[in-house]
Structure 1
Amino acid sequence: MMLVYGLITGILFGFLLQRSHVIRYDVQLGALLLKDMTIMKFMLSHIVTAMIGVYVLYDFQLVELSLKPTILGGVVIGGLIFGVGWALLGYCPGTSLGALGEGRLDAVWGIAGMLVGAGLYAEAYPYLSKTVLTWGNYGKITIPQVLGVSHWVVIFCMTVFVVLLFRWFEKKGL
Structure 2
Amino acid sequence: MSWPLYDSGIASGLLAGFLFGFVLENAGFGSPRKLTGQFRLEDWSVFKVMFTAVIVAAALLWLSKLLGLMPQGSYYVPTPFYAAMAVGGLLIGAGFAIGGYCPGTSVAGLAGGRVDALVFMFGMIVGTVLFSAWFGPLESLYLAAQGPKAQTLMDLTRIPEWLILIVLAAIAWGGFKLGSNLEKKFGGPYKASDLYGEKR
TM-score for both structures, normalised by structure 1: 0.90
> What is the CA–CA distance in structure 1 between the aligned matches of 2:131 and 2:92, rounded to whole Å?
13
Contact 2:36 2:96 in 1 (8 A): no
Q: Does 1:45 align with 2:52?
A: yes
Count of equivalent residues:
173
* Within-5 A mapping of 1:10-159: 10-59=17-66, 60=68, 62-63=70-71, 64-129=74-139, 131-140=140-149, 141-159=151-169
Q: SS in structure 1 opposite 2:147?
A: strand
Deviations 1:116-136 (CA, angstroms, capped at 9, x unpaired) = 12212222223333x112321
Alpha-carbon RMSD: 1.8
Q: SS in structure 2 opposite 1:66?
A: coil
More helix by share: 1
Alpha-carbon distance, 1:91 to partner: 0.9
Distance 1:139 1:133, change over 3 A: farther
The one-letter amino acid paired with 2:22 is: F
Contact 2:81 2:145 in 1 (8 A): yes
> What is the CA–CA distance in structure 2 between the aligned matches of 1:169 and 1:114, rounded to whole Å?
29
| Unaligned stretches of 5+ residues in structure 1 | none
Percent identity (aligned): 24
Structure 1 residue ranges (4+ consecutive) displaced by more than 6 angstroms after TM superposition: none
The higher-RCO structure (CA 8 Å, 6+ apart) is 2
The equivalent residue for 2:172 is 162
Contact 1:58 1:65 in 2 (8 A): no
| Unaligned stretches of 5+ residues in structure 2 | 1-7, 189-200
Higher-Rg structure is 2
TM-score for both structures, normalised by structure 2: 0.79
The one-letter amino acid paired with 2:49 is: F
